[in-house]
Copies of this chain bind each other. A is one copy, B any other.
Amino acid sequence: MAAHAVLGQSIARVDGREKVTGQTRYTGDLHLPGMLYAKLVLSQHARARIKGVDCAAARQVPGVVDVVTARDILAVAPNAKDSMLLALDTATFYGQPVAAVLGETEAAAEEGAAAVVVDYEPLPAAVEALAAMRPDAPEVKESDSEEDDALAQMHATVGGGPEQPKRELPRNVTTAPLFQRGDVEAGFRAADHVVERTYRTMRVHQSYMETQGAVAAVDPLGRLQVWCSTQSMFTVRNSTARALGIPDTEIKVTAMPIGGGFGAKFLHLEPLAAALALKSQRPVRLILTRTDDYLSTTPAPESIVELKTGVKNDGTITAIQAKIVMDSGAYGGTPLNVACLLLGGYYRCDNLAIEGYEVLTNKPQVGAYRAPGAPQGTFAIESNVSEMARLIGMDQIEFRLKNCSVEGDPLPNGDPWPSIGLQECLEALRAHPSYKEWQQKGEGEGVGVAVGGWLMGVEPSAATCRLNSDGTLSVLLGSVDLTGTNTAFTQIAAEAFGLPLEKIKVIAGDSDAAPYAGGAGGSKITYTVGPSVQQAAADARQQVLAIAADMLEASVDDLEIVGDEVRVKGVPDQKKKITEIAGASMRFGGRYKPVTGRGQTATTQRAPGFAAHLAKVRVDPDTGEAKLLGYVAVQDVGFAINPAEVKGQIHGGVAQGIGWAMLEGQVFDEAGQMLNPTLMDYALPNSTNVPPIDVVIVEKPSELGPFGAKGVGEPPVIPGAATVANAIADASGARVTDLPITAERIARALGK
């Protein structure tokens, strides 16, 4: 690959200054004239019939303007799905919104919400997934919303499983994909060793710094505007429009700067905020408290994975058999397929049988969380793989290299892997000095390895750009900058046009003005919007060169852009400033068309991304306490447009992986009430439990990503749980199969 001018450089984030100086204005910083504050009344039962909502006392609270129930909403939001709005007749999870109180102040709304008296008739609840599958379990009301399916698919990043034989599904099971090839029984018969385990992961919440929130307002002619913390402006617009029964373009959505999303912010409160604004005809601000956010939003699903694998002494994996149960909460939409495909896709194996079950329970709906489905499936397979390597006495990396999938090998659904960097990541990890050094283990120390991959999302995108009179190039985009993508786009546009970085302005358009882009999820924005940016900037460059050629009476081929000028190569005084060219195309009587670049892409070829992690841990054999001592994260990113941003993303992913591994999980009591809905009780990774992370970037270029880049965001969270579990097993002999791996669980595994 040719040397780049500004790509591959670790420039500071374009939004860095305003963020680090605390000046970024988020949704919660909006104050519209006449704005009302909304506070939700949440269900106090996991399942209950709502016999009545007594609003009288709440309405008496000074400053309370209105108390709104589902029935009030239906008038303005006829197609509202209960998953997004208010419970109508039945509450289906503890924390489900039942009513909204509108107040002139936040305090009034809060006091009003406390005064709403809901008359519940508690009903038996299905709280635990396996219990919910029993024939006598209470039936959880099912959502059959197409919209939910579409959202689920977007997060899952792969479509439905293969054609399934018609069969009776267990109670509360919404979908049960089955992936098969070869003969697993024969495979196990051929094995020298069989490892059979059941793995459990908990509900892990995205725990973004900024809770979910939206502000909605109706203009005097009835047009809606929504400002929100979202990853996907167009999803919010279209889904809110559908809930309200109006055309999509009757709503204007402005995606505000976002304080973290991790998959959870595609659509949540916006239809309700819009409905409340429509009903009250005043601006409405609906921002969740941390506790309400934990109680009512959409974490990653808990999973139960029964996994059985066989291996020969020569290292051949002979069979993989798995059953994955995912607890979907009150509505469908788990990333079950992803879990199945990845669990069975990392390694070549002729005999495979993977079945999945999505089960409804009376808990909050689950949603997307960074690499949805991948940590759950990967924790299982990579734990088993480590055990198999140990059983046959083969080096962890050698064993994986012997079996790892390469381009052309089949996924469980039969699709061949495109070009992937799994092997290259393993080789890079093997070559890393720590891999050898850490084999010298001290007392209670152990080392773990695991890999993880992500299929990556794809979605059509467009970009336009405009040369400005001051010589800058504005790039207008509809994507949300969740992870620093606007910084990467600044670099891409600068490179493609040939301008200095400071001359590029990435403009986040609102949903009226912006070219289309999909949501910032699936690690797809740089991969799919980047080429549109590149095209648009290259297109603008050509237009600039054509104008310069006419002005300079030269051939386009003889021109070059140097700094802020277009020059005739080899004739230093034959030149035009870019500002002159811009001026000539944007003035009265000008002869040249305004430079307006366009890029459009519809990449359907995925560029999966892989990571290989290495962790060193010390386990106290008496207390079971485990401490991470070091971490190496290798990842194939295709091409690192901005290495510092790539490393930052990987750091964050590793930290969240450690959260999965050792810390996080929502806890419910038997009645379905969440017990830890606060940041005091819900344990997040922090600087005391995340060790120094050494990031190694592998660059196996993608064919279609910008300059070879692939998505970065999701792979680094995937191998964490298995890496840590394998290190702990290596250190202590304790093979812990339930996440998070707490000292208590290690101690119990050690028989303490």
Contact = CB atoms under 8 A, between A and B. Distances in A.
B238 A469 contact: yes
A512 B469 contact: no
A459 B589 contact: yes
A361 interface: no
Interface in A555-592: 585-592
A600 B219 CA distance: 33
Given A249-B474, A460-B586, A598 B601 contact: no
A514 interface: yes
A500 to B, nearest CB: 13
A587 B459 contact: yes
Given A31-B33, A33-B31, A472-B247, A18 B221 contact: yes
A509 interface: yes
Nearest to A589: B458
Interface in A30-61: 31, 33
B154 A460 contact: no
Contact of A507 (B17, B247, B507, B512): B512
Interface string A230-257: 0000100010010000011100000000
A464 B596 contact: yes
Contact of A516 (B219, B238, B518, B596): B596
A593 B601 contact: yes
A492 B220 CA distance: 28
B513 A476 contact: yes
A434 interface: no
Given A31-B33, A247-B470, A594-B462, A507 B515 contact: no
Contacts of A247: 470-472
A470 B248 contact: yes
A600 B516 CA distance: 20
Contacts of A476: 512-513
A466 interface: yes
Contacts of A474: 249, 512
Nearest to A153: B588
A594 B514 contact: no
Nearest to A158: B589
A725 to B, nearest CB: 32
Most buried by B among A462, A476, A516, A589: A589
A206 interface: no
A464 B512 contact: no
Contacts of A687: none
A179 B157 CA distance: 72
How many copies of this chain does one complex carry? 2
A268 interface: no
A258 to B, nearest CB: 18
A466 B517 CA distance: 12
Interface string A452-472: 000001111110101011111
B462 A516 contact: no
A159 interface: yes
A23 interface: yes
Which applies to chain A's interface (DSSP): helix, strand, loop or mixed? loop
A602 interface: yes
A150 interface: yes
B588 A154 contact: yes
A594 B513 contact: no
Interface in A500-522: 505, 507, 509-510, 512-516, 518, 522
A604 interface: yes
Contact of A464 (B241, B464, B468, B507): B464
Most buried by B among A464, A474, A513, A522: A513
Nearest to A597: B598
Given A464-B464, A472-B247, A588-B457, A594 B515 contact: yes
Interface in A461-490: 461-462, 464, 466, 468-472, 474, 476
A462 B472 CA distance: 17
Interface string A427-459: 000000000000000000000000000000111
Contacts of A604: 589-591
A594 B461 contact: yes
B515 A596 contact: yes
A471 B33 CA distance: 33
A145 to B, nearest CB: 16
A533 to B, nearest CB: 13
Contacts of A459: 586-590
Given A462-B594, A469-B248, A594-B462, A159 B589 contact: yes
Contacts of A18: 220-221
Contacts of A587: 150, 459-460, 518
Contacts of A601: 593
Contact of A468 (B220, B249, B505): B249
Contacts of A469: 234, 238, 248
Contact of A602 (B17, B31, B464, B585): B585
Contacts of A593: 460, 462, 600-602
A602 B596 contact: no
Contacts of A25: 219-220
A23 B281 CA distance: 14
Contacts of A518: 586-588
Nearest to A464: B464
A469 B510 CA distance: 15
A134 B43 CA distance: 89
Q: Which of A33, A468, A472, A518 has the most CB of B within 10 A?
A: A468
A515 B465 CA distance: 9
A585 B249 contact: no
7 contacts: A23-B219, A247-B472, A248-B468, A513-B514, A516-B586, A585-B602, A594-B602
Given A248-B468, A476-B512, 6 more contacts: A150-B588, A157-B588, A249-B505, A459-B586, A459-B588, A509-B513
The 5 closest A-B pairs by CB, nearest first: A516-B594, A593-B600, A248-B470, A23-B220, A247-B470
Interface of A: 17-18, 21, 23, 25, 31, 33, 150, 153-154, 157, 159, 219-221, 234, 238, 241, 247-249, 457-462, 464, 466, 468-472, 474, 476, 505, 507, 509-510, 512-516, 518, 522, 585-594, 596, 598, 600-602, 604
